Each structure stands twice: as structure tokens, then as C-alpha cells.
Chains A and B, each alone.
Chain A
């Protein structure tokens, strides 16, 4: 038993003398009647399914009753409303269609990892395939095919990864990296940079002309660029590594009495606010007077937005308490320290693979509260330098 009115039910009014009889006949024919209300002895209103209207009308005519539909079904009324707002619904439907169509297009093609030249050829090839912003995705071959096509038609590309993310295509390009052609240097000799005793000889190209323990002076030839004999003779760019023993003298002076400052760990902080260059202490007014000996650290935080510096800054001053400790070294201690300083000085002068082989104290003395030290260092270092071969030399 359905109490509710269905969406296709219409409200009808029945007028006549024999309404009850008419209704009984309707029932016999299996017409569903709902919400029957007697308005007055000659009229009643009721709901019937809209499909039954004609049947009920025929029956009513037999019993001299008149029927009129006084309210259309919900369904009909809804359709009428739809028609009234047709513009809106058409618009909504169009919008959905547009959205679907636009989402089926390619909006972005991005080539990553290629240099401009290759990127251009790839882009051109893609356009030949039809892959460019504005193309429809259905017309395009699948990413694997695109990948293959691009690989086949582009030189200088080892691999292309085609990624489709929504409406965007990303191409990851791995360029072919050919081994760089080493620039062939012009023929040359290797000569000594400074006076040294040869420690080791390694001639990669060219002919070594020195042996271990030879003494060489600056400009002496170490590796010759001429190789071969007679008609096979030719000049090559000599390369190699020749380590030589060189000598340095370092003089250092170290005072024996010094003051060293150490931080105690106690500190006071002062916060200062800068507004348009105006200093406004905010916190820690007494920080500056807290310690007798102190060390100040400033931390300035400026507020900037993009490229603009706002006229606001926050300065944190940290006053750290400092202890001054006098150091009084003995002669021996001073000497040790002087040695360390000298070694440090020597090492900072050396470069690359050079190392100190031997060290000797040449002279040391303590005078006027200072230790003066003269050190001699024997250093192993690369002594090669290049000397070009002039073309004319060959013929000699």
C-alpha cells in the first residue's frame, strides 16, 4: 500500500451525481486511487496515475460524471521547470562537454635534459608526429611509439623517456656524450722549474734525459719532446712527472710571553630593534655593563620581502665574558711552538703532492722574550714546467 504520491500522479477533480459508483467502477478496473477528498456532494478530488486518466475519463462519462485534471504530475511540472531554465541546463551541459574536451587535449610538452639544439629538433619531430600543445590526445600514438619515433629521428640522443601526466607530456632526454677530443698540445719539452736533485722520474711521453740523483738547474731539460731517430724522428708533447728534492729556509719568531683570551661561557643578551635606522633596545639594557672583559657577537636579522629590504631589523648582541690568561713559555716550549709554526708556514707554501721530506734546525736563539728559529726543509715536489718546441728546431 503506497501512501505517497508518485512522481507521475496527477490530481483530478470529478464532478457528477454518482461519484461513489464511478469510484467503485474504477476500483473494479484496477485503477489505483489515492487521497480522495469530498469537497461537496457533487465534487471530489483525487490522485491517479497520469496513464490512467483516459480510462478514468471514459468510465466517468458512462456515469455522467465529468473529470478534469487540476494539477499535473510532479514529473510534468519538473519538465516544465527544466524548459523554463533551459539556458542554465544547456550551459551546464556545455561546460561539462568543454571540460571533457579540454582535458583530452595536450596542454604542455616539455623536453628536459637536452641542449637547445637537440631540444629544437626533438620539438620539430614531435610536431611532425602531431604532438604539440592543442593537439587531441586520441590522435596521438602511445608514448612508447613516440619514444621510438623520436629516437629514430633524432641524432645525438641515447634515450628518450616519454611521460604522460594528465594533459602534459614530459620528455626526458639522455644526450649522447661522445668522449671529448683531447686537445693535442703542441710539441714541447719538459724542463726544470727550479734547482733540485731528481727524486723520481716518470716520463709518460717523450724521452727522459735525467736520472735519479741528478742535479738540475732551472730551465734544464728533463724530458725531451724529440723521439725516434733518423727519418722516424718526430716531436711530441712531452708529458710526465718528475719529482725533485728542493730546499727551503723558513725563519719564525715566537714571543714567549703572551695573553690568551678564553671564553668563560657566561653571557648576557641584548635585543635591539631597528626601525628606519633608529635603534630601540628591547631587552637586556644592562648587558653591556655585566662584564668587565667581554667579547660582543652581533646577529642582525633583516626582514626582506623578495628584493625589498624592509626598514625593520632585529639585532641580538651577545656579550660573552672573557678571561685573559697570560702565557709564559720556557725556552724549550717556545722552541717547540716555533717549530710547529715553521712547519705550518712551510706546508701552506707547498702545493699539490709536495711533502716535507726532512727538516733541520739551522739556528735558534732566544732574546728579548722571543724565540727566533731558522729551519731548513728538504721538500719533495713536482719540478716540471713546459717549454714549447719551435718548428724550426726540428730540422736541425
Chain B
């Protein structure tokens, strides 16, 4: 109950105060340079990693990146730089109506 209130409050504040969403909301920020690089901020860990697919845990669901010859160039607790040929980025929302997962 309190979580939901907090969340909507955050939405409201970012909406009204013109603050970048990733600052307050725990959403990832992706920066892509062509198909070559993908820079992910605010991730929550690696779920799966192979040459063709990377699945990252987010605060709210999962991020699935697909492509070829993936190399994780650099990784920090909440930052990641992926190199390779990126074909597809997909969000998988595990959020249920009932509340945030984890």
C-alpha cells in the first residue's frame, strides 16, 4: 500500500518537476551507439549471459538483449557496457497488478 503510494508520488514528481525519469524512478537508462555498443545503467545483475543473448535483471522485470558476439566490456554493480552486434532489445515485465516483484 505504502509502496504503491510512494511509486505514484514519484511519477507525479518527475512529471511535474521535469526531472529525468531515471533519477528518481528505478528504471534503466540505455545508451546505444549504433548496433555496436549498449550501455546500461541501473541494472540489478546478470540473469543470463551468452554470446547471443544477455538477460539483465532490472528493478522491475528483465531486459533481454539479443545479437551476436557479445562481450561484456565492463561491468559495475549497476552499470554495464556490452559490445557486439545488437539485434534486439526487449523488456519483459514481471510486474503484476498486485505490486512490484522483489
Contacts and interface: CB of A to CB of B under 8 A. Distances in A.
A338 interface: no
B36 to A, nearest CB: 13
A30 B76 CA distance: 7
Contact of B72 (A2, A24, A35): A35
A3 B74 contact: yes
B94 interface: no
A32 B51 CA distance: 20
A312 interface: no
Given A19-B49, A23-B46, A27-B45, A32 B76 contact: yes
Given A20-B47, A23-B46, A3 B81 contact: yes
B93 interface: no
B45 A24 contact: yes
Interface residues of A, number: 20
B76 A36 contact: no
Interface in A149-176: none
Contacts of B45: 20, 24, 27
B76 A35 contact: no
Contacts of B71: 35-37
Contacts of B47: 20
Contacts of B51: 37-38
Contacts of B77: 27-28, 30
A38 B67 CA distance: 13
B74 A2 contact: yes
B79 interface: yes
A33 B72 CA distance: 9
B75 A20 contact: no
Contacts of A19: 49
A38 B70 contact: yes
A34 B73 CA distance: 5
B59 to A, nearest CB: 15
A33 B49 contact: no
A44 B49 contact: yes
A106 B62 CA distance: 79
A35 B73 contact: yes
A41 interface: yes
Nearest to B57: A24
Interface centre among A24, A32, A46 (most CB of B within 10 A): A24
B48 A34 contact: no
B50 interface: yes
B79 A36 contact: no
B49 A38 contact: yes
B28 to A, nearest CB: 15
Nearest to A19: B49
Interface in A6-27: 19-20, 23-24, 27
Contact of A33 (B48, B50, B70, B75): B75
B42 to A, nearest CB: 13
Contacts of A101: none
A41 B50 contact: yes
Contacts of A46: 72
Interface string B47-73: 111110000000000000000001111
A2 B79 CA distance: 12
A280 B68 CA distance: 88
17 contacts: A1-B74, A1-B79, A1-B81, A3-B73, A19-B49, A20-B46, A20-B49, A24-B46, A30-B77, A33-B74, A34-B74, A35-B72, A35-B73, A36-B49, A36-B71, A38-B50, A41-B50
3 nearest A-B residue pairs (beta carbon)? A36-B72, A24-B45, A20-B46
Interface of B: 45-51, 70-77, 79, 81
Interface of A: 1-3, 19-20, 23-24, 27-28, 30, 32-38, 41, 44, 46
Given A23-B49, A27-B45, A34-B74, 18 more contacts: A1-B76, A19-B49, A20-B47, A20-B48, A23-B46, A23-B75, A24-B46, A27-B76, A28-B77, A33-B72, A33-B75, A34-B75, A36-B72, A37-B51, A37-B71, A37-B72, A38-B51, A46-B72
